Amino acid sequence: MTRLLVECTHVFKHPTVNSGIQRVVRNVIKQLPASAEGIECLPVVLINGQLYRVLQLAPLDTPLWNTLQTFGERLERLAHRFWQWHQRRDAQCTAKLARRGLYVGYRLTQFAVFGVPIRLIRLINRRQLLKRCSPLQHQPGDQLVLLDSSWHSDFFAHVEQLKRDGVGIIAVVYDLIPLTHPQFYDTRLVEVFSEWFDWITRTADGYMAISATVRDQVREELQRRIGAEQADKRWFDFFHLGSELDLHHSAATVEPRLKSLFAAPETVFLMVSTIEPRKNHAYLLDAFECAWAAGSTARLCIAGRIGWKCEALLERIHSHPELNRRLFMFNDLSDTSLEYAYAHASALVFPSFVEGFGLPLVEAMQRGLPAMASDIAVFREIGGDFMAYFNLQDPHNLAALIQVYQRTGQFPAARDVADWCWISWREASGQLATRSLHQVQQAPRVQARPHAHCS
């Protein structure tokens, strides 16, 4: 039986982070089937050059050990960046003597600055580590699925060794946005992601995207980088994401200020995302200011943690005359509070410039909350006729949708969200496993449905 080794290293090390990719990884691992159609599925991590099977994804309640582990991780990231620097310089060196000197200097620095303290911390942490996972021996024919955000990781050399030992490598790609829209990110992240993509271009046997839109983008990018002939030797597929909020607890307390917001009779439009330039909150404010100027009483609720490059936006929100009147912002909502917001809002608004999927859209619509979104390809793939779309070139376009919905009570989409049906995280995990197996076994190609809607 083929073994699918589903990697979750970053979430294993940082289990309290709960946004974007981390939410996806945690839910896929939690719902990963033990076996599916002739494949055994195992959650794994790659730590300190060793492959482990995950026994417990949640952390142990030991603050001292956790602090030491965090310090060790930071030191190892520095060591990995130093290794990357050495690789770039080594590639640029043409003189044999210079390359030898560079190598000796690298080895000495690596040993003196990083090697000794990292080994000491690893020995201390190993005892705690073995309470959450156990060593696993890889086998030829295993398939390693890089599900987590592996551009943060330092296991590239280890994965390359696994590949030489006959393990297949499958890269999960959430999006190519740092490559296609670098203006939305810090320079360092763009560099790290670009180096990672170069690496998976050389290393991966196949690519599993989170939407058909991203799958096609990945194929096109590989064709551009290595040519159509080489790209055709790889395989490309996708799976869709689920919709449950796994950290929601019915007994938990809902944020009181959020409850107060929804207690008022006015229509509330909800925006859920990290606050960062790509999510396009400025357009959202422009649209609602247009609607308010035209007499709308609609309220806008922005929910999401504070990200990057958003200082001007935050200043605009904090100084806005409608703040806490018709404009509200929450930066640290629990899943329980978010579930409450989805249940009581009138519609979700999502004006993102570019996405790999758009998780809040399916989270909202699966709960019966209709959604308005920017008119981009991946949202059409996910939403079909169930969503209302607006033009990002004109905030008045969204303002008009808001006013029509308020005035008529009819949501401006071709189909009713009541007829919507989306897959669960269990089904999403199943898609990842079975589609990966089919591709690895080179089963007859069947045209995938463009949506994951229930028929």
Instruction: Give residue-wise pLDDT tens across range 42-66.
Output: 999 998 889 999 998 876 656 666 6
Q: Domains in the chain, ordered, with CATH?
A: 2-59+132-238 (3.40.50), 256-419 (3.40.50.2000)
% of the chain surpassing 90 pLDDT: 68
**Residue 183 pLDDT exceeds 70:** yes
pTM, 2 dp: 0.81
Report the pLDDT value the prediction gives residue 423, as an integer from 0 to 100: 94
pLDDT-derived band at 442 (thresholds 50, 70, 90) equals confident
pLDDT-derived band at 348 (thresholds 50, 70, 90) equals very high
List strands edge to edge, sheet with 143-146: 133-135, 50-54, 39-47, 2-7, 143-146, 168-173, 206-209, 235-238
**Residue 448 pLDDT exceeds 60:** no
Region 421-436: mean pLDDT is 94
Report the pLDDT value the prediction gives residue 109, as an integer from 0 to 100: 79
Report long-range pairs for 434-437 (Cβ below 8 Å, ≥24 apart): 434/36, 434/37, 434/39, 435/208, 435/237, 435/238, 435/239, 436/4, 436/39, 436/143, 436/145, 436/170, 436/206, 436/208, 436/237, 437/2, 437/4, 437/36, 437/37, 437/38, 437/39, 437/143
Report the pLDDT value the prediction gives residue 67, as an integer from 0 to 100: 67
Give the residue from 268, 267, 266, 275 showing the smallest Cα distance to 333. 275
Mean pLDDT of the chain: 88
pLDDT in tens, 268-308: 999 999 999 999 999 999 999 999 999 999 999 999 999 99
**Phi, psi of 189, deg, nearest 5:** -65, -40
Q: Answer with the residue of higher pLDDT: 63 or 203.
A: 203
Report the pLDDT value the prediction gives residue 84, as an integer from 0 to 100: 73
**Residue 86 pLDDT exceeds 50:** yes
Q: Are 398 and 351 in contact (CB under 8 A)?
A: yes
Region 15-32: mean pLDDT is 85
pLDDT in tens, 212-253: 999 999 999 999 999 999 999 999 999 999 988 766 666 678
Report the pLDDT value the prediction gives residue 453, as an integer from 0 to 100: 47
